[in-house]
Structure 1
Amino acid sequence: MTGHGDSKTNHLKRLRRIEGQLRGLQKMVEEDEYCIDILTQVSAATRALQSFSLELLKQHMAGCVVEAAAKGGPEADRKIREASEAIARLVRS
């Protein structure tokens, strides 16, 4: 399973909102906004990216990983390893 199917539109909408948050952060810095206000917005953008990442991971697990696990073999091992590594990266970030 590849691609994002019906979720592609929603993924793109979420990413555009996050992009808007980042542009807002740039504007806040340009306008010398109060540091704590900027940090509050950084936290919000970070949470938005984390939420997006978790949703993408959930879909990957439910689709690609389950499909590969059902077939078994080296592909299943690879998909599970990839998912585990992605989770580890998210936890470290």
Structure 2
Amino acid sequence: MNDERKKAIQSLKTSKGQIEGIIKMIEDGRYCIDISNQIIAAQSLLKKANMLILKQHLNHCVKDAFSKANNEEDIEKKIEEIIQILSKITGK
């Protein structure tokens, strides 16, 4: 397992703990702004994990595909995959 994946797993585990804490905060009737701040923190960790996974994908999977691509269609397919995921991230 490479470094990006290890860091992504750690971010996901941390966000899992935060989400469990958020659920408890809601159940305990904690102040809404405090809950919202914790949700934002969990979202940040999820974004970080996603970026680490995408970095790993670009550095390994895409790089390998480009070096082994037999034709332009294979390269265009990999580029389109990245464009589609970036459009989901940016909401565009």
Shorter-chain TM-score: what band? 0.7 to 0.9
TM-score (norm 2): 0.84
CA drift of 1:92 comes to: 1.5
Q: Hey, what does 2:58 align to over in structure 1? A: 61
Specify which structure has the bigger relative contact order, considering alpha-carbon pairs within 8 angstroms and separated by 6 or more residues.
2
Uncovered stretches (5+) of structure 2, i.e. residues with no partner: none
C-alpha distance in structure 2 between counterparts of 1:9 and 1:51, whole Å: 12
**Aligned equivalent of 1:25, options 22, 27, 41:** 22
CA contact (8 A) 1:64 1:79 kept: no
Q: Hey, what does 2:76 align to over in structure 1? A: 77
Uncovered stretches (5+) of structure 1, i.e. residues with no partner: none
TM-score (norm 1): 0.84
RMSD over aligned CA atoms reads 1.7
> Number of residues paired by the alignment?
89
CA drift of 1:38 comes to: 0.4
Provide Cα deviations, 1:31-54, integer angstroms capped at 9, x if missing partner: 000000000001101111111111
**Does structure 1 residue 52 correspond to structure 2 residue 20?**
no
